[in-house]
Structure 1
Amino acid sequence: MSIVEKIKSNPALKQLALKLMIPSNEHRPRLWVRWFVNPFIHKRGKSSIIRSRTRMDVFPYNQFKLGTKSVIEDFATINNGVGDVIIGDQTIIGLGNVVIGPVTIGNEVMLAQNIVISALNHGYEDPTISPRRQKETCKQIIINDDVWVGSNTVITAGVTLGKHCIIGAGSVVTKDIPPFSVAVGNPARVIKQYNPESGIWERVNPSSI
């Protein structure tokens, strides 16, 4: 068993480690973690770029990977506190994006501006307790290769975006989107799919998907 696994399996050690890494009432790592631990733990591909005004709330106990020639633009927030964040090659994380793991993003993905991708939810069922204090739940988000997501889109926990699908600006994606399709709206619905036989992006009836 590795040191990380031993700490995770022991509640007292886990609590102590979190106190050492995270300032009270904050959700970002301490400076010493960002400077002296993360660079040796997390993997960045050749020619990848993280802009200087990006908020990197990444911790050593979960994975963060950024692929070759990928870019995270200014004012984005990346958080792997509750799950791994894996970003493929030649992918763009646009201005003001928020990515909260567990999230896996493929190769040559384009994320426009002000997109929220969050695999994290809070419980709310007990009316006597604030949702802030109820149990957190996480469901993996997967964005496959060649996806293009328009600005101001929200992608909710548990969603998978298929290869080469397009999400229109301002959409709220609550269900899986199949490969080679165009989805728009709130909630997002498929309006086009690529037909490999005709070579045409054909309009579809959203109720049939």
Structure 2
Amino acid sequence: MRFGQRGDVLRLADGVSIYANTRLVLGDVVADPCVGISIGARTIVNVGAYLSGEGGLEIGEDVLIGPHAKLLSAGHAIDEGDAVIARNRITRARIFVGDGAWIGAGAIVLEGVSIGRGAVVAAGAVVRQDVPPGMVAAGMPARLIRARRGEAWPSSPAPSSRPKWLQSVFKLVRR
């Protein structure tokens, strides 16, 4: 996404479907011309979704976004300045969703996260870290639980240096 002109704040490609009660939040394009939302061809955004472009949001082609999913590219600094959160700075970071990905119903994707091509975010998951292409992430916070059929598990450190939760995932995948 290469925003930079005030007219480029919202881009919808051919065949995009946006269902009822979806909210598109574009941000302050005067203060930051790099914000906005770009949605690729044939993407479906189901009912009640919340798409935040304040930090930049790029959604690829053929993506499915489930009902009431939230993609939040902005938040609040919690560990600086004032004890009253509303008085601290707004944080922003671009979210990227690759072609053919699926964000399940009620899932939340937080600022700065990339969801890879063909990846799946399970319903109700809270995603704080990138999801590699072809992987399935679930939980709160979301964790990689398996690779989709025909996809390879992403390369990773030696088994002994993996966190315990990741070691158990590798054991399940290898069964």
Q: TM-score, normalised by structure 1?
A: 0.64
Residue 90 (structure 1) aligned with residue 49 (structure 2): no
Corresponding position of 2:129: 175
CA contact 1:120–1:136 (8 Å) conserved in 2: yes
Q: Give 1:149's aligned residue.
A: 103
For 2:152 and 2:132, the matched residues in 1 are separated by 16
Percentage of identical aligned residues: 25
Q: Does 1:81 align with 2:27?
A: yes
**Is residue 65 of structure 2 the alignment partner of residue 130 of structure 1?**
no
In structure 1, how many angstroms separate the alpha carbons of the residues matched to 2:165 and 2:113? 18
1:104 corresponds to 2:104: no
- On the 8 A contact 2:82/2:88 being kept in 1, the answer is no
Task: Report the Cα distance in structure 2 between the residues aligned to 1:190 and 1:124, rounded to whole angstroms.
Answer: 27
Structure 1 gap ranges (5+): 6-40, 42-59
Contact 1:85–1:103 (Cα < 8 Å) also in 2: yes
2:155 matches 1:207: no
Q: Which amino acid aligns with 1:64?
A: L
Going from structure 1 to structure 2, the CA distance change for 1:126 and 1:63 (only over 3 Å counts) comes to same
Greater helix content:
1
2:138 to 143, 162, 184: 184
2:113 maps to which of 159, 168, 171: 159
Alpha carbons of 1:61 and 1:121: their partners in 2 closer, same or farther (altered >3 Å)? farther
TM-score, L = length of structure 2:
0.75
Higher CA-based Rg: 1
Higher relative contact order (CA 8 A, sep 6+): 2
Query: What is the CA–CA distance in structure 1 between the aligned matches of 2:98 and 2:82, rounded to whole Å?
Result: 40
Instruction: Give the length in aligned residue pairs.
Output: 147
Note if contact 1:191-1:206 (Cα within 8 Å) is conserved in structure 2. Answer: no
**Over the residues paired in the alignment, what is the CA RMSD in angstroms?**
2.5
Distance in 2 separating the partners of 1:123 and 1:147: 29
Task: Summarize the alignment of residues 18-97 of structure 1 with structure 2, pairs less than 5 Å apart.
Answer: 60=6, 63-82=9-28, 83-97=35-49
Moved >2 Å (runs of 4+): 124-130
The letter for the 2-side match of 1:184 is A
Alignment-mate amino acid for residue 77 of structure 1: R
Q: How far off is 1:119 after superposition? A: 0.7
Contact 1:190 1:206 in 2 (8 A): no
